[in-house]
Amino acid sequence: MTLQQLRIFLGLAGMGFWLAACIPSQEQPTDREVVYQVSTIDALLAGEYDGEVTYGQVRQHGDFGIGTFNALDGEMLELDGDVFQIKSDGKAYPVADSTKTPFAAVTYFEADTVVPLTGPVSFEQLCALIDSLIPSENNFYAIRIEGEFESINARSVPRQVRPYIPMVEIVKTQPTFAYERVQGTLMGFRTPPFMKGLNVPGYHLHFITHDRTRGGHVLACSVAKGTLSIDFTSGFHMTLPNSGSFHRIDLTQDKQAELEKVEK
């Protein structure tokens, strides 16, 4: 090793030590105030429907969250540590730990704000109320509403087969479900606007009935009465796929317009 190479090596080693010393030990994905996420929403929009992470691994990072399944086989909802798969028939099924996901976001739900709701409260009014209760739009918020709903309009998507088509095309023929005067849980996240491309900016909510038999991705709702709970969450950890297909997809394009069509 030449003298110059030795200087470079020692300089890099010193920098590595400095970086390690500056990273707080509490910044771990198992922190209870962290949103743990698998992959990115733009990868899902691009047709990256197969993942490597199992729901057994996901549940190690949270007891509350939403997502989907390999081959885009329905909507995922994790509530109190139990994971459900809401398939294209609108029915909720328990999920084995070995089941894999291409996209999911979970956290440990611990309410910081609890507010009673007396309806009717529309989806738009609910979002406006939550906006008035949070200190900043630049943090993550886990949202949970338990109660009785005058109506829930929801959807799920059917299992896909290769070659996969973009999600914006799939939702054109997505099955939708109308629930009337139903008790259950509406839950999900309010995500900061700067997360565009990584997650869904704003509100992304799923629903499951009180008896845990039906549900879906929420398109609209009206709350009759219930309880709104909000968990302020400041941390974020992402796990990216280690597959060749993820490495090759183009994630430089702005897909916000596609996302708005998919979410609505």
Residue 4 lies in a domain: no
Residue at 22 is within a domain: no
Q: Which of 249, 219, 194, 225 is nearest to 42 (CA)?
A: 249
Number of domains observed in the structure of the chain: 1
In a domain, 46, yes or no: yes
Domain assignment present for residue 25? The answer is: no
CATH number of the domain to which 224 belongs: 3.30.1330.80
**Position 63 in a domain:** yes
Asked if the structure places residue 1 within a domain, the reply is no
Q: What is the pLDDT of residue 8?
A: 37
258 within some domain = yes
- Residue 15 in any domain: the answer is no
What residues make up the domain containing 233?
34-263
One digit per residue, the tens of pLDDT, for the chain of length 264 reads 444 443 433 343 443 333 333 334 334 445 799 999 999 999 999 999 999 999 999 999 999 999 999 999 999 999 999 999 999 999 999 999 999 999 999 999 999 999 999 989 999 999 999 999 999 999 999 999 999 999 999 999 999 999 999 999 999 999 999 999 999 999 999 999 999 999 999 999 999 999 999 999 999 999 999 999 999 999 999 999 998 789 999 999 999 999 998 887
Instruction: Give the pair of three-digit tokens for residue 41.
Output: 């929403």
User: How far apart are alpha carbons 149 and 119 in whole angstroms?
Assistant: 9
Q: Is the dihedral of CA 240, 242, 243, 247 positive or negative?
A: positive
